[in-house]
Structure 1
């Protein structure tokens, strides 16, 4: 069976909620294709990034059905993904162009439930060395309440060309 037939068969019997979620998937593929997001996970989460000076980054995502767990709150793993993405993106910005930064350790503390219209992650630098960066990230829900705090270590490696 080809993918067009799979989509048609699925949509024929899909509930309204399933159609909305399918639309979110398709929109994420379009965001990746048109370059709005550099990765599929960034496109799926609808990540919007803004660098601020000095050495800070803000990432915002909307709260969608794709990101919620069975309790209708932001999934903890996706909260961690947002933290890792924000801290890692900032780490990449701070190192030479011929280097990459990879996560070597991350500790997340969840302090409130993830509800609301959107979530904002603020990433900042704790330590910047030539081989290791230590970052901090905080995720806030749309009413300003902190839902998670993380620290992460990022190892600097040669970039593959």
Structure 2
């Protein structure tokens, strides 16, 4: 019961921004519990994904106060997380069920501000070898402006 009391005490004195942020945290925990996201970070970011065609994966996120840096733009580290998640998920999906993919290297170029109400990340395959996969990822704002471009290498390992 201590956590409930802490929560109640926090909400009594919370600003509207703190209440909005707390609601976003609760929504992310619900998404994780319901299986809408496989990881807590994916749930926190509100990631949804789909395969558009063979060899292409799209991930979408809505902008929120949780994702912004002190300049009120999408945090660069979360942009990197979105790129890594999209490229890694695509790599993983293209492998046999006894294999997995882990990031070995990623290079990102940030080219525009991460502003707007939502972001789309598109991941594609550059090379699929027997030990390494090379992927490309691009993040776009809702006005279709490219904000980041990445390439990533993924080591293929046995799934435990």
Cα deviation per residue 1:38-88 (whole Å; 9 max; x = unaligned)? 110110000010102120000000000000000000000000000000000
The reply on whether 1:135 has 2:116 as its aligned counterpart is no
Q: How does 1:2-151 map to 2 (within 5 A)?
A: 2-151=2-151
Aligned length: 160
How far the C-alpha of 1:2 sits from its partner, in A, is 1.9
How far, CA to CA, are the matches of 2:31 and 2:140 in structure 1? 24
Query: What TM-score do you get using the length of structure 2 for normalisation?
Result: 0.98
How far, CA to CA, are the matches of 2:98 and 2:2 in structure 1? 41
Q: Secondary structure at the match of 2:72?
A: coil
How far, CA to CA, are the matches of 1:55 and 1:10 in structure 2? 46
Cα deviation per residue 1:13-47 (whole Å; 9 max; x = unaligned)? 00001000000000000000010111101100000
Q: Which runs of no fewer than 5 residues in structure 1 stay unpaired? A: none
How far, CA to CA, are the matches of 2:23 and 2:117 in structure 1? 18
How far, CA to CA, are the matches of 2:70 and 2:91 in structure 1? 33
Cα deviation per residue 1:89-147 (whole Å; 9 max; x = unaligned)? 00001111011100000000000000001000000000001110000000000000000
Query: Structure 1 segments of 4 or more deviating over 6 A?
Result: none
- Cα RMSD for the two superposed structures: 0.8
Query: What is residue 154 of structure 2 aligned with on the other side?
Result: 154
Q: Secondary structure at the match of 1:83?
A: helix
